[in-house]
C-alpha cells in the first residue's frame, strides 16, 4: 500500500480562524494537531479571491489565466485537466469528491452545466476525474429549488429542514442583531451539511479495500455565508462577548479615512456607490453594518469553524481505526478568506488583502514519509497542491501543472513568490488586478479597466437578469493603469497603509511589478484554443 491523500477544504475561511495561526476564539484542536505534526505554511496565498477560480486552480494546478475559469460566473471547461483524473489514470488511485465542488456557475436554473445536470439526474458517479462525486452547497434550497445533492437528500429525508437556512446572497437581515444573511437556524446538528459531508466521506472510505490507494477531497461549504449554523451550537460563542476584530478601524470616520488611501472602489464599496456583486449580495452596503452585526457574524463564523474541526476529527479517527492514518497525507486549506469586519466590510471580491488571499494551509505528511514537522514561511499557493500530490503518488508531475512541489522546510530555493489575479466577469466593471507576495511585501498593479467592452458574459441569462441593460454600461470607476497598492505585511498586518505612491518605496514597487509580470505565464487558455479552432 502506498500513500493516500486526504484533501480537506473549507470555504471562505480566514488564515487566523485556526488556533495554530493565532486564532483565540474558535477551538480548533484537530487542525492545530495537524499543524504541530506536519508543516504549517505561514505565507500561503490563493490565485484568486473567489470560489470557482480558486477551486479550479486546486483541481488543475494551473493559474487562472491558464485554466480560464476567471470568475464565479465562468465555468471551468469540461476538458480542463484534473489532478484527480491524473492520479486515477497514472497511479490507479480511487478518487472521490464529497461536498462543495463549484467548478461551474451555481446559478444555473436552465441546467446548462454538468454540475447542475448531474444533480438533477441524481448522478453521483464520475465527474472531472472523481469516480464518486456528491455535492453540497451552503443552503438546502434556493428560490424553492433543492440545491445540490444535499438539498435533494434533505427533501427526501428531512423535508422539515429544507427551508431552514438564511436566504443565500439576499443580504436579508436576521439573527439577534439584524445582520445580513444571519439566522438562528433550528436545523439539528446531525442534519446540517458539515456533519453530512463528514458522514459521506466516512461512508465512501468504507467502500475501499486495505490495498487501495485513494485521493479523497472532503469539501465543507462552511464558514461561507449565510451565517446560520445550528441554533443548538450557538452557546459555544456569545457574540455579546466579542470585541471588534483587529482589522476593523473602529469608527465610520476612521474607515472612510483609511479607504480613501486605496484605489477608488474600496471607499466606493463602503459608501455604496460601487456594487460588489462579484463577491457578495448586490443589495449589501457595508456602511449599514452595526458593530453588533459584525460581532454576531464573527461569533457564528467561529461556531462554524469549531463544527468543521470536530467533523475533521471524526474522519481522522475513522482512518486511524482502519489503520490507514499513518499512510495518509492530510492537507487542510480553504479557497479564499472573508473580510469578517476588516475595513468595516463583509464578504469577498476585488480586494487583494491578506483577509482574502492568505490561506490556512497545512500538510501533515504520511508518517511513513519521514518528513519532519516545520513552519514554512516561503510563499506557496493552491498552484502547488497538484504537483505535491504527484510526488506523493510516485508519478511524474504532469506537464500541464504550473505549480511546484511544496517545500518541506524554509530556504529550499523553490518558492520565492506567489501570485494572485482578478478579472471582472461583468463587462460593465472591467477591473483587472495582478498581485505578487514576495519578501514580506504585497504589491498589486491595476491594469487599465475595460468597462463596457463585451466579454461574452453579456449573453448569460443570469447576468442579464441581474443587470439587464446595464451589462455593457461602464461603471463610474475605471482605472487607467497607474493605480496600485503596496504594503509591508509585517509592519502593517492589516494592510492599512498604502505605500504605492510613496517616493521612498518607488524602486521597490517597480521591482515587484517587474517580477510580477516576468513570473506570470502567457495568457493562453481553453477559450483561446476554441477561438483558434
Helix (H, G, I), strand (E, B) or coil at 284: coil
Q: What residue ranges do the domains of the chain occupy?
A: 4-251+287-408
Q: What are phi and psi of 331, to 5 degrees?
A: -115, 140
DSSP state of 349: S
Lowest mean pLDDT among 101-115, 399-413, 518-532: 518-532
- Is 487 a residue whose pLDDT tops 80? yes
Angle 83-91/385-393 helices, nearest 10 degrees? 10
Segment 415-443, tens digit of pLDDT: 999 999 999 999 999 999 999 999 999 99
Half-sphere exposure of residue 195, counting CA atoms within 13 Å on the CB side?
A: 10
Q: What are phi and psi of 300, to 5 degrees?
A: -65, -35
Segment 142-163, tens digit of pLDDT: 988 999 999 999 999 999 999 9
Segment 268-290, tens digit of pLDDT: 999 999 999 999 999 999 999 99
SS3 string of 133-195? EEECCCCCEECCEECHHHHHHHHHHCHHHCCCCCCCCCCCEECCCCEECECCECCCHHHCHHH
pLDDT band at 294 (very low <50, low <70, confident <90, very high): very high
More confident residue, 174 or 455: 174
Q: What are phi and psi of 11, to 5 degrees?
A: -130, 120
Residue 399, number of CB atoms within 10 A of its CB: 7
Angle 193-205/291-322 helices, nearest 10 degrees? 20
H or E element that contains 93: none
pLDDT band at 184 (very low <50, low <70, confident <90, very high): very high
498 forms beta bridges with none
| Residue 470 pLDDT | 76
**Nearest-CA neighbor of 218 among 152, 130, 305?**
130
152 CB-near residues (< 8 Å, 6+ apart): 119, 122, 146
Rounded distance between C-alpha atoms, residue 348 and residue 339, angstroms: 6
Using an 8 Å Cβ cutoff, are 27 and 306 in contact?
A: yes
| Residue 108 pLDDT | 86
At CA 17, angle to CA 32 and CA 312, rounded to 5? 50
34 CB-near residues (< 8 Å, 6+ apart): 330, 332, 362, 364
| Residue 533 pLDDT | 29
Q: What is the CATH number of domain 4-251+287-408?
A: 3.40.720.10
Mean pLDDT, the chain, integer: 95
- Is 180 a residue whose pLDDT tops 50? yes
What pTM value is reported for the model? 0.96
Region 1-18: mean pLDDT is 96
Residue 452, number of CB atoms within 10 A of its CB: 15
- Is 526 a residue whose pLDDT tops 80? no
Cis status of the peptide bond prior to 182, with omega within 30 of 0? no
Q: How far is CA 33 from CA 44, 357, 380, in A?
A: 19, 24, 21
Region 352-357: mean pLDDT is 98
Using an 8 Å Cβ cutoff, are 430 and 448 in contact?
A: no
Q: What are phi and psi of 41, to 5 degrees?
A: -90, 110
| Residue 21 pLDDT | 98
Segment 235-259, tens digit of pLDDT: 999 999 999 999 999 999 999 999 9
Helix (H, G, I), strand (E, B) or coil at 199: helix
Rounded distance between C-alpha atoms, residue 235 and residue 232, angstroms: 7
- Is 531 a residue whose pLDDT tops 60? no
Q: How far is CA 226 from the centre of its chain?
A: 15
What are the contacts of 270-277 at 24+ separation with CB within 8 A? 270/343, 270/344, 270/345, 273/476, 274/475, 274/477, 276/347, 276/349, 276/350, 277/426, 277/466
Rounded distance between C-alpha atoms, residue 101 and residue 98, angstroms: 8
| Residue 488 pLDDT | 98
Using an 8 Å Cβ cutoff, are 81 and 398 in contact?
A: yes
| Residue 466 pLDDT | 66
Segment 19-40, tens digit of pLDDT: 999 999 999 999 999 999 999 9
Burial class, 165, CB count within 10 angstroms (exposed 0-12 / middle 13-18 / buried 19+):
buried
Cell numbers describing residue 188: 439539528
| Residue 422 pLDDT | 98
Helix (H, G, I), strand (E, B) or coil at 510: helix
Region 217-235: mean pLDDT is 98
- Is 530 a residue whose pLDDT tops 50? no
Amino acid at each position: 500500500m502506498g500513500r493516500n491523500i486526504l484533501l480537506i477544504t473549507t470555504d471562505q475561511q480566514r488564515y487566523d480562524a485556526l488556533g495554530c495561526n493565532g486564532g483565540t476564539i474558535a477551538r480548533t484542536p484537530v487542525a492545530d494537531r495537524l499543524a504541530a505534526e506536519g508543516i504549517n505554511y505561514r505565507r500561503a496565498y490563493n490565485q484568486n479571491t473567489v470560489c470557482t477560480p480558486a477551486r479550479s486552480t486546486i483541481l488543475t494546478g494551473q493559474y487562472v489565466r491558464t485554466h480560464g475559469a476567471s470568475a464565479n460566473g465562468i465555468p471551468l471547461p469540461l476538458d480542463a485537466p484534473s489532478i484527480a483524473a491524473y492520479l486515477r489514470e497514472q497511479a490507479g488511485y480511487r478518487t472521490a469528491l464529497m461536498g462543495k465542488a463549484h467548478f461551474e456557475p451555481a446559478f444555473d436554473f436552465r441546467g446548462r452545466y454538468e454540475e447542475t445536470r448531474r444533480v438533477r439526474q441524481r448522478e453521483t458517479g464520475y465527474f472531472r476525474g472523481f469516480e464518486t462525486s456528491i455535492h453540497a452547497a451552503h443552503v438546502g434550497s434556493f428560490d424553492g429549488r433543492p440545491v445540490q445533492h444535499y438539498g435533494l437528500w434533505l427533501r427526501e429525508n428531512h423535508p422539515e429542514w429544507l427551508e431552514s437556512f438564511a436566504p443565500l446572497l439576499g443580504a436579508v437581515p436576521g439573527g439577534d442583531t439584524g445582520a445580513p444573511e444571519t439566522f438562528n437556524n433550528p436545523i439539528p446538528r446531525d442534519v446540517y451539511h458539515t456533519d453530512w459531508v463528514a458522514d459521506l466521506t466516512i461512508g465512501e472510505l468504507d467502500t475501499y479495500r486495505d490495498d487501495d490507494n485513494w485521493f479523497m477531497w472532503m469539501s465543507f461549504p462552511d464558514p461561507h455565508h449565510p451565517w446560520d449554523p445550528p441554533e443548538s451550537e450557538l452557546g459555544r460563542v456569545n457574540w455579546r462577548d466579542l470585541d471588534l476584530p483587529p482589522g476593523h478601524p473602529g469608527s465610520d470616520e476612521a474607515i472612510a479615512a483609511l479607504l480613501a488611501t486605496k484605489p477608488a472602489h474600496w471607499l466606493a464599496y463602503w459608501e455604496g456607490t460601487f456594487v460588489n456583486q462579484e463577491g457578495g449580495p448586490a443589495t449589501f452596503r457595508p456602511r449599514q453594518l452595526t458593530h453588533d452585526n459584525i460581532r454576531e457574524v464573527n461569533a457564528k463564523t467561529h461556531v462554524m469553524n469549531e463544527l468543521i474541526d470536530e467533523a475533521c476529527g471524526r474522519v481522522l479517527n475513522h482512518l486511524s481505526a482502519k489503520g490507514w492514518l499513518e499512510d495518509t497525507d492530510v492537507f487542510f486549506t480553504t479557497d479564499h478568506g472573508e473580510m469578517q469586519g476588516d475595513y468595516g466590510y463583509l464578504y469577498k471580491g476585488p480586494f487583494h488583502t491578506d483577509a482574502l488571499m492568505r490561506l490556512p494551509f497545512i500538510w501533515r505528511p504520511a508518517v511513513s514519509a519521514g518528513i519532519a514537522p516545520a513552519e514554512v514561511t516561503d510563499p506557496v499557493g493552491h498552484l502547488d497542491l497538484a504537483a505535491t500530490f504527484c510526488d506523493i503518488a510516485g508519478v511524474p508531475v504532469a506537464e500541464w501543472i504550473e505549480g511546484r512541489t511544496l517545500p518541506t522546510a524554509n530556504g529550499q530555493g523553490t518558492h520565492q513568490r506567489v501570485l494572485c489575479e482578478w478579472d471582472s466577469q461583468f463587462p460593465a466593471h472591467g477591473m483587472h488586478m495582478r498581485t505578487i507576495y514576495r519578501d514580506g511585501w504585497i504589491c498589486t498593479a491595476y491594469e487599465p479597466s475595460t468597462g463596457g467592452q463585451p466579454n461574452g458574459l453579456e449573453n448569460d441569462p443570469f447576468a442579464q437578469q441581474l443587470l439587464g441593460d446595464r451589462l455593457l454600461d461602464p461603471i463610474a470607476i475605471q482605472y487607467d493603469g497607474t493605480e496600485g497598492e503596496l504594503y509591508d505585511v509585517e509592519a502593517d498586518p492589516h494592510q492599512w497603509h498604502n505605500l504605492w505612491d510613496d517616493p521612498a518605496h518607488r524602486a521597490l514597487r517597480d521591482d515587484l511589478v517587474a517580477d510580477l509580470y516576468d513570473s506570470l505565464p502567457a495568457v493562453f487558455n481553453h477559450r483561446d484554443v476554441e477561438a483558434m479552432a
